[in-house]
Amino acid sequence: MRPTRFDELSSSYEDLLRDPIRDRFAGQESTFFHRRKSELIRRFFRRRNIDTSGLRHLDVGCGKGELLSMLRADFKHSAGCDVSVDMMREITGVETRVQIDPLQIPFEDGSFDLVTAVCVYHHVPVADRPSLTQEIQRVLKPGGIFCMIEHNPRNPVTRLIVSRTPVDADAILLEAAEARGLAAGAGLLPVEHSYFLYFPQTLYRYVGWMEGMLTKLPFGGQYALFSQRPLA
Ligand SMILES: C[S@@+](CC[C@H](N)C(=O)[O-])C[C@H]1O[C@@H](n2cnc3c(N)ncnc32)[C@H](O)[C@@H]1O
């Protein structure tokens, strides 16, 4: 198997993500961005009174597995897949499978209640995005949820950071409208979308509750789109 771009980046991945604005935003908490995403996903299920302890979670493009490890205790089974063997090399305690073909998810039809793809799509060529979304639809159980989290191109600070981050040299950001179109094109039903990452960690500790009032404004640093595979 030929090494992927992320295989080459993986040994210095954290250093290559470093950026003065990004680092200040995360403050003292190195896992701030992953924590915010795991909380967002947890709240999605809590708001609907859905107990996730019997559910199966797959993280597509799981990278180093931070989100998987943060959410592992919430789910009965957690799994990750990625086109990069090296990115996943140090993940432990979670099932991982290598995605040999970027457009084929190495899991069976209808096998997951939740599929996440976090900051993956902007690395996927635009023409391939519908096929990847169709694959995500395939591995979801009927009624299962797809959560896509992406950088928000409408946020100028996000755009600036992406433009100077080596990891994102191949990035083509997608607007939430494109993300919604991809989900709809794969036959997924819209459930919810929200913009988040308005406040840096130092402020979020005190006024984080205010983000709840800003989720519909398209200016947060990232957005999360939830959609659902129809029941029948
Ligand atoms: C920016 S990293 C994000 C990793 C992780 N999701 C996170 O939030 O930290 C993007 C990841 O997507 C993976 N990737 C890129 N294209 C992919 C595809 N078609 N299918 C699965 N993974 C892919 C890369 O190998 C890389 O690990």
Going residue by residue through the chain, which has 232 residues, state the pLDDT in tens, using 9 for 90 and above.
788 999 999 999 998 898 899 988 998 888 999 999 999 999 999 999 999 999 999 999 999 999 999 999 999 999 999 999 999 999 999 999 999 999 999 999 999 999 999 999 999 999 999 999 999 999 999 999 999 999 999 999 999 999 999 999 999 999 999 999 999 999 999 999 999 999 999 898 898 899 989 999 999 999 999 999 999 7
Q: Is 60 in the pocket of ligand 1 (CB under 6 A)?
A: yes
Q: Is 83 in the pocket of ligand 1 (CB under 6 A)?
A: yes
Report yes or no: 117 and 58 within 8 Å, Cβ to Cβ.
no
- Which amino acid residue places its CA nearest to atom 9 of ligand 1? 63
What is the pLDDT at residue 28? 83
Q: Which atom of ligand 1 is nearest to the CA of 61?
A: 22
Report yes or no: 18 and 187 within 8 Å, Cβ to Cβ.
no
Q: Is 65 in the pocket of ligand 1 (CB under 6 A)?
A: no
Q: Is 119 in the pocket of ligand 1 (CB under 6 A)?
A: yes
Cα(219) to ligand 1 centroid in Å equals 24
Q: Is 168 in the pocket of ligand 1 (CB under 6 A)?
A: no
Helices (H), the chain: 5-9, 13-17, 20-26, 32-47, 66-71, 85-88, 129-139, 156-164, 176-185, 201-207
Q: Which atom of ligand 1 is nearest to the CA of 118?
A: 6
Closest CA to 60 of 32, 84, 36, 41: 84
Q: Is 82 in the pocket of ligand 1 (CB under 6 A)?
A: yes
